[in-house]
Amino acid sequence: MQTQLFNYHLPESSIAQRPLAQRDASRMLVLDRKTGRVEHSRVKDLAQWLLPHDRVVVNRTKVVPVRLFGCKSTGALIEIFLLRPFDGDKVWEALVNPARRVRNQAVLRLQPRGEAEIIETLGEGHFLVEIRGTGPLRPFLFQHGHVPLPPYIKRPDDSKDRERYQTLFAREAGSVAAPTAGLHFTSSLLDDLRKRGVNKSEVILHVGLGTFLPVSTEDTENHVMHPEIYEVPSATVKAVKETREKGGRIAAIGTTVVRALESSRDEKGELSAKQGETRLFITPGYEFGSVDILFTNFHQPQSTLLMLVCAFAGRERVLSAYEEAVREGYRFLSYGDAMLFI
């Protein structure tokens, strides 16, 4: 498919720059996949759209504050965005910005301590970086790293982002971006779901380049998905199967949950307990086997996430709903409003 088929007009004014004060106060556009009917609701009313015996599946990954800032000997400030460990916990693949200002063996002084040496150029702004002098790196990042807000949020991260850019379910550190659908959930919303008879299960997909790297090729078939670590535990597999046996539906809270579940289907198409790396790239024509309902944010034009959503509900139908959301003043992307595909 041509990548341009997944384009739509997204005004800059529609991109949310900050989250709402209350997580579940966001608006929710509801799209019926069978009829194409669109309705407008609120996230806090999600339970009303689900049925007893339905099950929500969430991603319990936790975002690591992987943005660091370092200074060259000239005093120039360089941003280092750690993507994934390459060798232990000291050598990482990283995005460096501005890339043109660094070269191999350049040493950057980190704030407030330690240093980063550029040890190999990988191309397209990617480098191998060795981190030294920080002590154990994960504790250093959680104390001194910056929240990895996406570049379309045109402001520095602040102390509030440390809490708001994590989901209620965050337990397993490993993501370099938030699974944004989960950002809407609150304890009271979970209580409403339980009262409705909707139970919860968990998976892990650590968000990396595979999720947020833009599609730059003209044809989707030429796009390379980067690997991301995932796990679908046996308890979740058992719960999903029991839900289906009772006539309940599986509601994926976010595209990362969809990709984790779909990556865990065996050769017969049945869900099984798995862990490893996934490069699953879902585009229209894909046959879903593990998900009936999708709750997700609005996604960028020509992104792999928008392509997944179009595969789930139909490209023309989804893009029409997106256009209506723009007209109705919905807030888009990571800190924005949500959609529910039923």
- Predicted confidence band of residue 39 (pLDDT cuts 50, 70, 90): very high
pLDDT digits (tens, 9 = 90+) for 178-227: 999 999 999 999 999 999 999 999 999 999 988 888 898 999 999 989 89
Each residue's pLDDT tens digit, 21-32? 999 999 999 999
Q: Which domains does the chain have, with CATH numbers?
A: 3-63+163-341 (3.40.1780.10), 67-146 (2.40.10.240)
* HSE, side-chain direction, 13 A CA sphere, residue 207: 31
* Amino acid 206: pLDDT: 97
Secondary structure E strands in the chain: 27-31, 38-42, 55-59, 61-63, 67-71, 77-87, 91-97, 107-110, 115-123, 126-132, 172-175, 199-205, 228-232, 250-253, 274-278, 293-297, 338-341
**Surface-to-core class of residue 183, CB atoms within 10 Å of its CB (0-12 exposed, 13-18 middle, 19+ buried):** buried
Q: What residues pair up with 94 in beta bridges, in sequence order?
A: 82, 127
Closest CA to 340 of 252, 265, 238, 276: 252
Please report where in the chains the tokens 């019926």 appear, as a residue.
32
pLDDT band at 158 (very low <50, low <70, confident <90, very high): very high
Residue 229 has pLDDT above 90, yes or no: yes
Distance CA 9, CA 300 (A): 10
Token pair in block for residue 33: 């996949």
In whole angstroms, what is the distance from residue 27 CA to residue 43 CA? 6
* pLDDT, average across residues 281-285: 96
Supply the pLDDT for residue 303: 96
Whether this model's pTM surpasses 0.85: yes
Cα 74 to chain centroid, rounded: 36
Q: Dihedral through CA 178, CA 255, CA 226, CA 266, nearest 10?
A: 130
Cα–Cα distance between 230 and 320 in angstroms, integer? 32
| Mean pLDDT over the full length of the chain | 94
Please answer whether residues 165 and 183 qualify as being in contact, where contact means their C-beta atoms are separated by less than 8 angstroms: yes
pLDDT score recorded for residue 273: 97
- By CB atoms closer than 10 A (0-12, 13-18, 19+), residue 275 is middle
Nearest to 200 by CA among 262, 250, 244, 144: 250
Question: Which of 278, 152, 155 has its CA nearest to residue 225?
Answer: 278
Candidates 60, 61, 59, 53; CA nearest to 250 is: 53
The pLDDT score that the predictor gives to residue 116 is 93
Spatial CA neighbour of 180 closest among 252, 291, 251, 254: 254
